[in-house]
Amino acid sequence: MAAKARHHYLFVAYPLQSHINPTHNLAKQLASSTGAAVTFSTAVSAHRRMVSSVPNADQEFNNGRITYLPFSDGNDEGFKPDSMDFKDFLSDFQKNGQRNVSTIVGDLAAAGRPVTCIVYSLLLNWVVDVAEEHGIPSVLYWIQPATVFAIYYHYFHGFESIVRAHADEPSFTVSFPELQPLQIRDLPSFLNVPVNDTDSFNAPIHNSFKELFKILDRGQEDKVKPRVLVNTFEAWETEALASVTEIDIIPVGQWPKESNTSYLFKEDEKKYMEWLDTKEEGSVVYVSFGSLSVMKKEQKEEMVRGLKESKRPFLWVVRKDNREEGEGVIEIEEGEDGMVVEWCDQVRVLAHSAVGCFVTHCGWNSTLESLVCGVPMVGVPQWSDQCTNAKLVESLWGCGVRCEVDGDGVLQGEELVRCLELVMGEGEKGVEIRNKAQVWRDKALEAVAEGGSSDVNLKAFVDKFL
């Protein structure tokens, strides 16, 4: 333990909830299981919200296990989609982030706390340059499933032309090595960006992934496999982990913690947990589309219709920033059994015995949290990796269904009712889905237990590679 304690890991996370949660969970697990020193760094805009109750929130803060040290990306109030161009924002983020994270590394060394490894997540390719500048090893933490990593890898290594050629054919099937056949509609949305696209959002992210895999390719020049930590469990994605032989993919999935201290949104004051306590086991429909996905007014109206017609109690998260101007809180009519909140502790909700189904956008954090809690899913994917995750839920793991949407991408109320009945009803299919959800939950429990695959892999990473 004394030797391990000399290691000092700097975790750098992009300032989004979906990036911070998994990176923070891994940082906490590494600190507690290996005795290493851990510093967690994200942009000032997110850091302030993470430690909002701490005086001088822009400064370094230690909670007894992890040190929190923010960096400025040049936009300390965060990205403002209504007034900022995302391409320009990302360029400023890289320039300022690279300079200021480098300063952090230098200051830590000068203070007698030298960093021995930097762990970075997506959209932060420049962190590799910071690590090389200081002669420190770095490792990517892939915060999406291994299947999505494999898809991106193969796309940039021989499959780009076939995907682009059939980009307008949603049902066209692509067969990547070792993976189940996937239709174009199942692939990450950032792969289908036209070559000449100047879109201010999709194109920069596509280019960031392209650059990331070039960086990983460079790592093979010394005939040493690049290492990538992945937020998944070995038993969940055995084939995907074997799909890329040129990179050492290390599954280190963690059990999400209740009462997550890294939330960037204020938890609703409504007593939703007490409300859940009054409901029968497996009876409640939980609905949340995550921290970024936007639900159109028409979609909210159809969701209301479907939830009413399902006649099942529901807990629905509608973020304050996902309301059109003048739109108030969705009201629950007298006699209806439901609750609408602005934000909640999702892991606590999913772990509650009353929750019987999760209607989700299938972001990987939400999908993983539902899987580890044994809750079946109704998937309503929108973009990024969500369509792939929904495919995994329905076809690989068999613990949920993907809703069909209309031509405008809206989930109609009757389709929601159909999917809820399929997942929560007493039919043979519903029983099968719920049983499989428990199977994958048990496999995750085995992985994170002492001596399980995630536990062993994380400790081996510390012992072998550093």
What is the residue whose two structure tokens read 């007490």?
A: 274
Q: Are 386 and 276 in contact (CB under 8 A)?
A: no
Dump pLDDT digits (tens) for 341-375.
Answer: 988 999 999 999 999 999 999 999 999 999 999 99
Q: What is the pLDDT of residue 295?
A: 77
**How open is the CA angle 369-370-371, to the nearest 5 degrees?**
90
Say how far residue 277 (Cα) sits from the centre of its chain.
28
Q: Which residues are catalytic?
A: 19
Checking if the pLDDT of 402 tops 70, the result is: yes
Separation between Cα atoms, residue 83 and residue 72, nearest integer Å = 19
The whole-number pLDDT of residue 200 equals 60
Strands lying side by side in the sheet with 355-360? 338-341, 314-317, 284-288, 355-360, 377-379, 400-402
pLDDT digits (tens, 9 = 90+) for 39-72: 999 999 999 888 766 666 677 888 888 999 999 9
Q: What does the mean pLDDT of the chain come to?
A: 89
For residue 92, name the pLDDT band (cuts at 50, 70, 90). very high
Bridge partner list, 315? 286, 339
| Confidence tier at 4 by pLDDT (50, 70, 90) | very low
Specify the pLDDT at position 266.
62
> Of 72, 69, 73, which Cα lies nearest the Cα of 57?
69
Q: What is the pLDDT of residues 197-228, one digit of tens each?
A: 666 678 899 999 999 999 999 877 767 789 99
At the second CATH level, the architecture of 272-445 is 3-Layer(aba) Sandwich (3.40)
Distance of alpha carbon 162 from alpha carbon 207, whole angstroms = 18
Position 73 pLDDT exceeds 60: yes
- Mean pLDDT of the region 435-454: 95
Q: What share of the chain is helix, strand, coil (3-state, %, to 5)?
A: 45, 15, 40
Angle at 419 between CA 417 and CA 424, to 5 degrees: 95
Least confident of 68-77, 78-87, 418-427: 78-87
Distance separating alpha carbons of residues 404 and 223, to the nearest angstrom: 46
33 Cβ contact partners less than 8 Å away, ≥ 6 residues apart? 455, 458, 459
Say what percent of the chain tops pLDDT 70.
88
pLDDT digits (tens, 9 = 90+) for 286-334: 999 876 667 788 888 899 999 999 999 999 998 776 555 445 456 655 4
Give the CB-side neighbour count of residue 175, counting CA atoms within 13 A: 0
- 248 membership: H or E segment, kind and range: strand 248-251
Q: Which tokens in the block code for residue 304?
A: 């209301």
* Buried residues in 427-466 as b, exposed as e (16+ CB within 10 A): eeebeebbebbeebbebbebbbeeebbbbebbbebbeeee
Q: Which of 170, 189, 167 is nearest to 386 (CA)?
A: 189
Give the pLDDT confidence of 142-198 residue by residue, as tens digits. 999 999 999 999 999 999 999 999 999 999 999 999 999 999 999 999 998 776 666
**Is 2-143 in CATH node 3.20.20.140?**
no
CA–CA distance, 73 with 356 (Å, rounded to integer): 41
**Under 8 Å between Cβ of 172 and 166:** yes
In the numeric block, which tokens belong to residue 233? 């469990």
Intervals of CATH 3.40.50.2000 along the chain: 2-143, 272-445
Identity of the residue numbered 68? Y
The two three-digit tokens of residue 59, written as one number: 């400064």
391-392-394 Cα angle (round to 5): 65
Contact in structure between 230 and 146 (CB atoms under 8 Å): yes
